[in-house]
């Protein structure tokens, strides 16, 4: 899932400065599950902004709504009718949600209420961790199912750096396990540690963001187009 | 003496090829464009070491470029070992820099992952890590031996003559993996290895035994990292804070013992006594290291204390440095 975090309220207030009427739109999928942009969070954030702006003497009227998936056109189209009355939309979706709204409603100012952090999942109650950077060419088969691209601070592909701390902590943060320590432990337990002696060649990053904006086209799923346009 | 042709003909390579016990040192470039700093440090190391490493934005702090500083010491008559980290450059920049360095006659290169930028003075910087140190070693080896760029394209006129080094941290976790990782660097194409600072000789002997058993030392020259302690506090700090640093109690006790009986107020006398002990320990350790099977030399790290190199090298009976034919 996509994991996000709410922006600090001061940042949100700054974005909303001068706006009179705003629609806050949450999302019922990833960001609801990580308690950043679901129905409840939209409610709490909206009241906080209302209170703060009232105290300041420049009250902002915030209406609240939620869609099931902000990242898909079909789920947001219906909002079009009401947007005319708002100065701006505050999206509590991930970065994809914000942009889907912006694409769909070119005449409306869309503001981001979240900081989208990573693709990952919960590892314990109240803790989410990154697991994938969408490098576009998954190498988990060589690393015991643990991703060094997203979980090693140096994206090493051939083993740990010299900085792994005692007990397998990453040199960058003592609260974070060293990905390579985990990879070693796991491959050792599976008795496939000799695979680690194979030298992984330089990665082809062109499948990652380095290759430019990425898209997937599935011809088998595309609707036949009558008019190809430009 | 075997007659395999030398790969780079660097002084360091020639010393090692001649079966001599090699001595390398280390110079940290200044956080400025002041060439005088480099020349001063160089004058303290020159003639006492066979070559000196030039660190590459060590600990993520911006300093004079290692290649530029390397050219400066080369001009002073000291052979540089250029350090190159994977943190700041992608494969284009690494290849282009090594061609430039080779054009200036630089031959020794040490391939490193690099300290994370969060430790340095630009923690908000983007890191690169296009390659890791293993891939960097292999890339330089292929440039040299196959005259080809990483993409496979031919280097017209031949590849740069390099003597390729890598680092090893014998005691960092996962400890069981470390000798294998050393072997992997050898397979990737490393010609020499410089280890992290070693104070725990017993553990180092065990590590080297594994390395020898794995056949690593047949193709790679291992230089053990040593460094003089300045004070007991420094030893304790390193033991507690530097990953993979094992400083045995008896070393710390000796450093504490060195200042016993000297009044706390006499800072100068305490400092001198403690530093003299640090140098003595370092010399004794080199003597022990010389006896370890598979060891080809020492790498003396006395950063910001370059003056210690002379008494250490002399004290360990490693002076004068041998002359090797060009
Ligand atoms: S290797 Fe790439 S695709 Fe696979 S988990 Fe890691 S970042 Fe994601
Ligand atoms: S300590 Fe481990 S996770 Fe952290 S940078 Fe080094 S190898 Fe990567």
Is the omega angle on the peptide bond into residue B320 within 30 degrees of 0, that is, cis?
yes
Residue A165 CA, distance from chain mean position: 29
**Would you call B167 an interface residue with chain A, using a CB distance cutoff of 8 Å?**
yes
For residue B35, name the pLDDT band (cuts at 50, 70, 90).
very high
Total domains in chain B come to 1
In a domain, B234, yes or no: no
User: To the nearest whole number, what is the mean pLDDT of chain A?
Assistant: 96
In a domain, B203, yes or no: yes
Q: Can you give the pLDDT at residue A227?
A: 64
Residue closest by Cα to atom 5 of ligand 1: A132
Percent of chain B past pLDDT 90, that is, above it, reads: 96
In a domain, B48, yes or no: yes
Closest residue to B167, CB basis, from A160, A162, A205? A162
In a domain, B276, yes or no: no
Identify which ligand lies nearest to the alpha carbon of B127. Answer: 2
Residues on A contacting B at a C-beta cutoff of 8 Å: 153-168, 171-172, 178, 180-181, 184-185, 188, 193, 196-197, 199-203, 205
Sign of the C-alpha dihedral, residues B315, B317, B318, B320?
Answer: positive
In a domain, B324, yes or no: no
Digit-coded pLDDT (tens) for A86-135: 999 999 999 999 999 999 999 999 999 999 999 999 999 999 999 999 99
| pLDDT for residue B37 is more than 60 | yes
Over residues B192-207, mean pLDDT: 97
| pLDDT for residue A159 is more than 90 | yes
User: What is the C-alpha separation between A36 and A44, in angstroms, rounded?
Assistant: 11
- Ligand 2 centroid – CA A129 distance (Å): 16
Cβ A154 under 6 angstroms from ligand 2: yes
DSSP 8-state symbol, A64: E
Residue closest by Cα to atom 1 of ligand 1: A138
Domain segments of chain A as ranges: 2-117, 133-211
CB of A159 closer than 8 Å to CB of B168: no
Token couple for A185 = 């432990």
Alpha-carbon dihedral angle through residues B16, B204, B242, B177, given to the nearest 10 degrees: 90
Q: Can you give the pLDDT at residue A91?
A: 98
Q: Can you give the pLDDT at residue A228?
A: 55
Q: Can you give the pLDDT at residue A226?
A: 72
Residues 6+ apart with CB under 8 A from B97: B67, B84, B89
Q: Can you give the pLDDT at residue B124?
A: 97
Helices B133-146 and B178-188: angle between axes, nearest 10 degrees: 30
**Would you call B269 an interface residue with chain A, using a CB distance cutoff of 8 Å?**
no
| pLDDT for residue B132 is more than 70 | yes
Digit-coded pLDDT (tens) for B235-272: 999 999 888 899 999 999 999 999 999 999 999 999 99
In a domain, B321, yes or no: no
Q: Can you give the pLDDT at residue A229?
A: 52
Q: Can you give the pLDDT at residue B303?
A: 85
Digit-coded pLDDT (tens) for B66-81: 999 999 999 999 999 9
Q: Tell me which residue range forms the domain holding B44.
A: 11-228+292-315
Closest residue to A168, CB basis, from B91, B139, B173? B173
Q: Which residues pair with B134 in a beta bridge?
A: none
DSSP 8-state symbol, A165: B
Chain B residues with CB under 8 Å of A148 CB are none
Q: Which fold has domain A2-117?
A: Rossmann fold (3.40.50)
Interface size A-B, in CB pairs within 8 Å, comes to 103
Alpha-carbon dihedral angle through residues B276, B277, B278, B282, given to the nearest 10 degrees: 110
* Domain harbouring B161, CATH code: 3.20.20.220
Over residues A216-223, mean pLDDT: 95
| CA-based end-to-end distance of chain A | 35
Cβ A178 under 6 angstroms from ligand 2: yes
Length of chain A: 230
What value of ipTM does the predicted structure carry? 0.94
| pLDDT for residue B202 is more than 80 | yes
In a domain, B144, yes or no: yes
Token couple for B38 = 């480099």
Q: How far is CA B214 from CA A161, A218, B183, B208, in A?
A: 20, 50, 7, 10
- The reply to whether residue B173 touches residue A178, judged by beta carbons under 8 angstroms, is yes
Residues 6+ apart with CB under 8 A from B19: B1
Closest residue to A172, CB basis, from B118, B180, B196? B118
């Amino acid at each position: 899932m996509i994991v996000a975090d709410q922006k600090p309220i001061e940042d949100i207030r700054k974005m909303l400065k001068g706006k009179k009427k705003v629609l806050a739109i949450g999302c019922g999928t990833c960001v609801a599950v990580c308690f950043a942009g679901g129905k409840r969070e939209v409610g709490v954030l909206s009241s906080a902004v209302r209170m703060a702006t009232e105290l300041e003497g420049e009250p902002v009227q915030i209406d609240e709504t939620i869609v099931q998936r902000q990242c898909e056109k079909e789920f947001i189209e219906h909002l079009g009718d009401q947007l005319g009355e708002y100065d701006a939309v505050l999206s509590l979706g991930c970065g994809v949600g914000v942009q889907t709204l912006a694409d769909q409603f070119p005449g409306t100012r869309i503001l981001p209420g979240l900081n989208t952090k990573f693709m990952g999942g919960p590892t314990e109650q109240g803790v989410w961790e990154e697991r994938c950077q969408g490098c576009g060419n998954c190498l988990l088969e060589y690393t015991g199912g643990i991703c060094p691209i997203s979980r090693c601070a140096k994206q090493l592909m051939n083993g740990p750096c010299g900085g792994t701390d005692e007990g397998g902590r990453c040199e960058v943060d003592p609260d974070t396990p060293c990905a390579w320590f985990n990879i070693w432990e796991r491959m050792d337990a599976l008795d496939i540690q000799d695979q680690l002696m194979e030298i992984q060649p330089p990665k082809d990053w062109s499948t990652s963001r380095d290759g430019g904006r990425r898209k997937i086209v599935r011809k088998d799923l595309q609707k036949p187009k009558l008019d190809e346009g430009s | 003496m075997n007659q395999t042709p030398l790969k780079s003909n660097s002084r360091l390579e020639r010393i090692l090829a001649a079966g001599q016990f090699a001595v390398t040192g280390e110079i940290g470039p200044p956080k400025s464009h002041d060439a005088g700093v480099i020349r001063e440090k160089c004058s303290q190391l020159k003639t006492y070491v066979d070559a000196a490493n030039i660190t590459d934005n060590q600990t993520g702090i911006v300093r004079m470029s290692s290649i530029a500083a390397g050219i400066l010491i080369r001009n002073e008559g000291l052979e540089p070992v250029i350090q190159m980290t994977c943190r700041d450059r992608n494969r284009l920049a690494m290849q282009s820099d090594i061609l430039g360095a080779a054009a200036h006659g630089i031959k020794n290169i040490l391939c490193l992952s690099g300290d994370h930028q969060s430790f340095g003075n630009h923690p908000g910087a983007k890191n690169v890590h296009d390659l890791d140190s293993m891939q960097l070693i292999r890339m330089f080896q292929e440039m040299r031996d196959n005259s080809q760029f990483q993409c496979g394209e031919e280097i017209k006129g031949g590849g740069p003559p390099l003597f390729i080094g890598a680092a090893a941290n014998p005691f960092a976790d996962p400890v069981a993996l470390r000798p294998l990782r050393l072997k992997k660097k050898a397979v990737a194409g490393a010609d020499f290895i410089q280890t992290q600072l070693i104070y725990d000789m017993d553990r180092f002997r065990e590590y080297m035994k594994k390395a020898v058993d794995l056949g690593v030392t047949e193709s790679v020259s291992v230089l053990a990292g040593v460094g003089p302690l300045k004070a007991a506090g420094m030893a304790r700090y390193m033991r507690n804070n530097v990953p993979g640093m094992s400083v045995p109690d008896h070393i710390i006790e000796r450093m504490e013992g060195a200042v016993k009986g000297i009044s706390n107020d006499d800072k100068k006398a305490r400092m001198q006594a403690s530093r003299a002990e640090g140098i003595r320990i370092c010399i004794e350790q080199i003597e022990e290291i010389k006896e370890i099977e598979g060891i080809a030399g020492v790498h003396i790290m006395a950063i910001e204390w370059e003056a210690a190199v002379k008494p250490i090298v002399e004290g360990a009976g490693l002076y004068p440095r041998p002359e090797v034919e060009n």
